[in-house]
Structure 1
Amino acid sequence: MELRLLVTFEKVATVLSFTRAAAELRYAQSSVTAQIRALESSLGAELFDRLGSRIRLTEAGERLLPYARQMIELAGEARAAVAGAEEPAGTLAVGTMESLTSYRLPPLLEYFHHRYPRVRLSLRPTLGDETRRALRQGTYDLGFLMEEETEHTGLESEVLTAEPLALVAAPGHRLHGTEPAVGDLVGEALLATEPGCAYRDLFERELTAAAPVSFLEFGTIEATKRAAAAGLGVCLLPEVTVAAELAEGSLVRLEWTPPFTLRTQLAWRSGKRLPAHARLFVERARQLLAEQG
């Protein structure tokens, strides 16, 4: 089996589209089709079911996919080993989220930009379920997760740090200086980012156990903070995202401790052999978040 045929097969199997695979591989679509047919001929088995405009893997394709990925990754390792002490290079597709990209990762990105200029970081803004799915499919190389759970089917993950949360409001809020219970919060105007964000979903779960609630959604952390500072309501956010506002006094912390703990994690597909530049990224992320505490 030729490696280039396996690379094409893996891409088509990941995106489930000959057209999209051709675009990402920079081939003509006819070349992708011809390569898949050549691979099927060499194996004596059909790898895809063609369903009109859609495709899906056959049982043979499902069995081949993990081997194809291992062979592609092993070939990359072999090239890196032959290159020896050359400067790390390559592209890393990294799933991340606003709270990390804006408030925790800038030192990591700056470090890689200056120390390893041949490593190209492609940051993909996604939330938990979408990030996990992209990792399992091989669309992302690495993904940051901020979750309560630390085990994820089909993934390996490393906990980098616990992520403290803060319930905040504008100065002078009636609950400031008290120790509010869930019942007190149910009656408040609640501000939030979009659904799918772990801390928002867990907060909503906790409150709806007492009574139905609704949130005024602002989409981004920055917009949610501004709304809280303007006195529109209370919001639960990662402490790192509101540290500056708490220090300057434009927001105040309400003395409510969430009954759940989120952990920032870095994950990748189970069984995936991380190339050297990906291992460097994991190691540096581990060091950085340990220093940030």
Structure 2
Amino acid sequence: MELRLLVTFEKVATVLSFTRAAAELAYAQSSVTGQIRALESSLGTELFERLGSRIRLTEAGERLLPYARQIIALTEEARAAVAAGGEPAGSIAVGTMESLTSYRLPPLLELFHHRYPGVRLALRPTLGDATRQALRQGTYDLGFLMEPETEHEGLESEVLTEEPLVLVAGPGHPLTGRAGLTTGDLAAAGLVGTEPGCPYRDLFEAELAAHRPSFTEYGTIEATKRGVAAGLGIALLPRIAVREELASGALVRLDWEPPFTLFTQIAWRRGKRLPEHVRLFVEQARRLVQESP
């Protein structure tokens, strides 16, 4: 079996589309079709069922896919090791979210920039559902998640740290200094949040659902913090994202504890053999995130 045929097969099997696979591989669609037929001919079996405009893997294709991924990963690892003379090298596509990229990951990114220049990082901003799907499809090598669950179908994951959340307001907000706040108090106070799909925004909204909460969406954490500091409402945010503002007095912590817990995790596709440079990234992420305050 030729490596290029396995690469094409793995891409088609991941995206389940000859057209999309051709675009991502920069091939003509006829080339992709021809390569799949050549691989099927060499193996003496069909790898895909054609269902009109859709395709799906046959049982033989399902059996071949993990072997193809292992062969491709080993080839990339060998190529990187030879090219780098033993130094860690290779590319890593990482799915992550704003709160982690901005407040958890800078020490890790700085370390790889200076100490491991042969490792090329591509950070892809996505939220939990999209990150998990991209990991299962093989589009991302690794993904950072902030989730209440720590088990994810089709993925291996490791909890790096619990991610405390705090409810914050501007220093002049009417709820500042009040004890024993209820969900009714919060829903009536004006809510500022990031976009839907953000895990702590969604959990907060679900907790207040009985009071029909209305959120003013600012999209990013920085914009949300500015809105809250200006007295436009209150927001539930990761403590690490508001640490400086709480210390300076620009934001004030309100007396309400969320009844849910989130965990920052790193994840990859179950059964995937991680190349050396990817394993190094996981090890350093574990060390630096767990050491951070």
- TM-score (norm: length of structure 2): 0.92
Query: What's the counterpart of residue 15 of structure 1?
Result: 15
For residues 204 and 67 of structure 2, the distance between their equivalents in structure 1, rounded to whole angstroms, comes to 41
Query: What's the counterpart of residue 168 of structure 2?
Result: 168
Q: Contact 2:84–2:118 at 8 Å: present in 1 too?
A: no
Query: What's the counterpart of residue 224 of structure 1?
Result: 224
Q: Cα offset for 1:109?
A: 0.9
Q: Contact 2:193–2:217 at 8 Å: present in 1 too?
A: yes
The size of the alignment, in residue pairs, is 292
For residues 153 and 274 of structure 2, the distance between their equivalents in structure 1, rounded to whole angstroms, comes to 18
Q: Contact 2:80–2:90 at 8 Å: present in 1 too?
A: no
Q: Does structure 1 residue 253 correspond to structure 2 residue 253?
A: yes
For residues 18 and 170 of structure 2, the distance between their equivalents in structure 1, rounded to whole angstroms, comes to 52
For residues 79 and 117 of structure 1, the distance between their equivalents in structure 2, rounded to whole angstroms, comes to 16
Query: What's the counterpart of residue 191 of structure 1?
Result: 192
Q: Cα offset for 1:197?
A: 1.1
Distance 1:84 1:219, change over 3 A: closer
For residues 95 and 5 of structure 1, the distance between their equivalents in structure 2, rounded to whole angstroms, comes to 27
For residues 97 and 287 of structure 1, the distance between their equivalents in structure 2, rounded to whole angstroms, comes to 20
Q: Cα offset for 1:288?
A: 0.8
For residues 138 and 268 of structure 1, the distance between their equivalents in structure 2, rounded to whole angstroms, comes to 9
3-state SS of the aligned residue for 1:274? coil
Unaligned ranges ≥5, structure 1 = none
3-state SS of the aligned residue for 1:183? helix
For residues 62 and 195 of structure 1, the distance between their equivalents in structure 2, rounded to whole angstroms, comes to 35
Query: What's the counterpart of residue 204 of structure 1?
Result: 205
Query: What's the counterpart of residue 139 of structure 2?
Result: 139
For residues 261 and 17 of structure 1, the distance between their equivalents in structure 2, rounded to whole angstroms, comes to 39
3-state SS of the aligned residue for 1:184? helix
3-state SS of the aligned residue for 2:162? strand
3-state SS of the aligned residue for 1:149? coil
3-state SS of the aligned residue for 1:139? coil
For 2:274, give the aligned amino acid. L
Query: What's the counterpart of residue 127 of structure 1?
Result: 127
Unaligned ranges ≥5, structure 2 = none
For residues 128 and 69 of structure 2, the distance between their equivalents in structure 1, rounded to whole angstroms, comes to 23
Query: What's the counterpart of residue 292 of structure 2?
Result: 292
Alpha-carbon RMSD: 2.0
Q: Contact 2:95–2:144 at 8 Å: present in 1 too?
A: yes
Q: Contact 2:94–2:123 at 8 Å: present in 1 too?
A: yes
For residues 267 and 13 of structure 2, the distance between their equivalents in structure 1, rounded to whole angstroms, comes to 21
For 1:239, give the aligned amino acid. R
Q: Contact 2:74–2:275 at 8 Å: present in 1 too?
A: no
For 1:104, give the aligned amino acid. R
3-state SS of the aligned residue for 2:156? strand
For 1:32, give the aligned amino acid. V
Percent pairwise identity:
77
For residues 186 and 116 of structure 2, the distance between their equivalents in structure 1, rounded to whole angstroms, comes to 47
Q: Contact 2:172–2:231 at 8 Å: present in 1 too?
A: no
3-state SS of the aligned residue for 1:42? helix
